Structure 1
Amino acid sequence: MDVFHMDLKFLVVLFTCIGLVSCRCESGEVTVSSYPKPPFPKREIIKFKQPFMDRPAVMYGIKMIDSAYNKNTRADVKLLWVRPEAFSILMKSAYDSHLYGLGVSWMACL
């Protein structure tokens, strides 16, 4: 591939990851579950294996949901704060939902 025809985003990632700028990612999962009493809302603090040099970008998504069969299924996950050594998320059911379990996958990169 000719360097002059590469997408700008690709070049930024390339230069970042070859050592011109620090590049590191860490990923994981957090799951909260309890039956018969729903455990939500639940705040979780996730500590990184090694602190980042600065505050990383954190991406997350729901990977598992366990809800009552006769109720609506609504979940809410919010990123509360991010620091170089950890971040916090809030997992909760929304409105009239009865959630018994919620799993979140995440990735933090700098």
Structure 2
Amino acid sequence: MDALLIVAGICCCIGCATSAMCQSGELEFFSYPESPFPQQRTIKFKRPFNDRPVVMYCMRMIDSHYNLNTRANIRLLWVRPERFSLRITAAHDSQLYGLGVSWMACP
């Protein structure tokens, strides 16, 4: 069974979708010394859903400059039965070099 853990505003998906009805995955973005953000990514499901699924996502890893604020924004832009889109940005003076996102979609 999957569990979603939220600690101090950061959530982590523990496990992965094991139900035949749910799908899950991970995204990773890395670049050094330049930040790869903003990023927009469209994720295609292995099997399309019959209707628009519910998509849960969370930050699972972050790599940032040690001497600056660490702020990231992950936004779900849209969801369709066959795919969804995420946008990831760094705020103001934050310098992000990497970010990992876990996601799970269920009908």
Which is richer in strand? 2
TM band (smaller chain): 0.7 to 0.9
Normalising by structure 2, report the TM-score. Answer: 0.80
1:11-35 per-position Cα deviation (integer Å, ceiling 9, x unaligned): xxxxxxxxxxxx7100110011100
Which is richer in helix? 1
Normalising by structure 1, report the TM-score. Answer: 0.78
1:106 is aligned to 103
Q: Which runs of 5+ in 2 are unaligned?
A: 1-19
Divergent runs of 4+, >4 A = none
Q: What is the Cα deviation at residue 94 of structure 1?
A: 1.1
Alpha-carbon separation, structure 1, partners of 2:53 and 2:24: 12
Alpha-carbon separation, structure 2, partners of 1:30 and 1:103: 6
Which one has the largest radius of gyration?
1
**Of 69, 88, 94, which aligns to 1:97?**
94
Q: How many residues align?
A: 88
Give the 5 Å matches for 1:10-89.
24-89=21-86
Q: Percent identity?
A: 62
